[in-house]
């Protein structure tokens, strides 16, 4: 009986000394040697999940009244991040497309602020919830540039070709201008497209350039290298 009690006291002292050594090592290295609690380990994942909430904002107004500053401030004041943005001036109008991300309550606060901002009659503003884009790693990014004498139907014919081959148009920029040297009306367009990996690139390029030759378009198709 006395032996058992002595062994129990020794085990208790050993446990206390072991814990003390862990605490001392923790004080010296500054890194905890004991396993963190489940509550602390779950916090980062919860924060990441909250940032998956996204709000797409589209605005259109006169180019001399750009709402970019007002929108950027409201996104920041709500505690959200500006994940992506597109701003372009077309004619006398400026168009903005902004993607804000953040926690659910932060986006709710931003939505309230945008509702107040939309009371301005000169501003056409819409916003709605969205989510992260699905992985499109099976699509190869290519850049297509087209230059030609301006005439109706060029964009429609090119987009029709891409649609027939199940190629996505990721971005499109086009403009009509007068050539400085001759004054001729010209058309220029840049397409960023996503080509399915199973499509034979050389054959696709040949078919596309043959189409452009038939339409009297000067065109190139090159991979995006960044």
Residues 6+ apart with CB under 8 A from 221: 142, 143, 144, 204, 205, 208, 209
Domain containing residue 206: 139-223
Higher pLDDT, 35 or 78: 78
Residue 97 CA, chain-centre distance (Å), reads 12
In this structure, the answer to whether residues 146 and 122 fall within a common structural domain is no
In this structure, the answer to whether residues 66 and 109 fall within a common structural domain is yes
In this structure, the answer to whether residues 216 and 150 fall within a common structural domain is yes
Q: Among the three residues 130, 150, 176, which one is the final residue of a domain in this structure?
A: 130
Residue at 158 is within a domain? yes
In this structure, the answer to whether residues 122 and 145 fall within a common structural domain is no
In this structure, the answer to whether residues 92 and 118 fall within a common structural domain is yes
Q: Among the three residues 87, 105, 130, which one is the final residue of a domain in this structure?
A: 130
pLDDT digits 0-9 by tens, 177-209: 999 999 999 999 999 999 999 999 999 999 999
How is residue 63 annotated by DSSP?
G
Q: Among the three residues 72, 100, 130, which one is the final residue of a domain in this structure?
A: 130
Residue at 37 is within a domain? no
pLDDT digits 0-9 by tens, 160-169: 999 999 999 9
Structure-token match 């009659």, residue found:
121
Q: Is 140 exposed, middle or buried (0-12, 13-18, 19+ CB in 10 A)?
A: middle
Structure-token match 């290519």, residue found:
142
In this structure, the answer to whether residues 214 and 157 fall within a common structural domain is yes
Backbone φ and ψ of 120, nearest 5°:
-70, 115
**Number of CB atoms found within 10 A of residue 51's CB:** 15
**Gap between the Cα atoms of 70 and 27, Å rounded:** 48
Least confident of 6-20, 65-79, 97-111, 169-183: 6-20
Name the pLDDT band for 132 (thresholds 50, 70, 90).
confident
Encoding tokens for residue 11? 């085990």
102: domain CATH number? 3.30.70.260
Q: For the chain, how many structural domains are there in total?
A: 2
Residue 63 CA, chain-centre distance (Å), reads 25
Share of the chain above pLDDT 90, in %: 67
In this structure, the answer to whether residues 179 and 215 fall within a common structural domain is yes
pLDDT at residue 51, rounded to an integer: 60
Residue at 3 is within a domain? no
16-31 mean pLDDT = 45
In this structure, the answer to whether residues 112 and 143 fall within a common structural domain is no
- Flag whether the pTM goes above 0.85: no
Residue at 38 is within a domain? no
């Amino acid at each position: 009986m006395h032996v058992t009690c002595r062994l129990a006291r020794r085990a208790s002292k050993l446990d206390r000394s072991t814990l003390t050594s862990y605490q001392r090592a923790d004080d010296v290295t500054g890194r905890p040697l004991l396993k963190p609690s489940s509550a602390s380990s779950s916090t980062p994942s919860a924060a990441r999940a909250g940032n998956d909430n996204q709000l797409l904002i589209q605005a259109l107004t006169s180019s001399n009244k750009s709402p970019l500053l007002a929108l950027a401030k409201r996104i920041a004041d709500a505690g959200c991040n500006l994940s992506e943005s597109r701003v372009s001036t077309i004619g006398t109008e400026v168009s903005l497309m902004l993607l804000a991300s953040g926690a659910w309550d932060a986006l709710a606060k931003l939505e309230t602020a945008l509702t107040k901002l939309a009371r301005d009659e000169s501003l056409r503003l819409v916003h709605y919830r969205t989510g992260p884009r699905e992985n499109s790693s099976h699509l190869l990014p290519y850049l297509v540039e087209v230059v030609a004498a301006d005439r109706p139907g060029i964009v429609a014919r090119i987009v029709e070709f891409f649609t027939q081959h199940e190629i996505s148009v990721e971005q499109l920029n086009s403009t009509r201008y007068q050539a400085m040297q001759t004054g001729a009306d010209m058309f220029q367009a840049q397409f960023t497209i996503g080509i399915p990996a199973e499509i034979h690139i050389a054959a696709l390029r040949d078919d596309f350039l043959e189409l452009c030759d038939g339409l009297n378009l000067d065109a190139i198709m090159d991979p995006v290298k960044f």
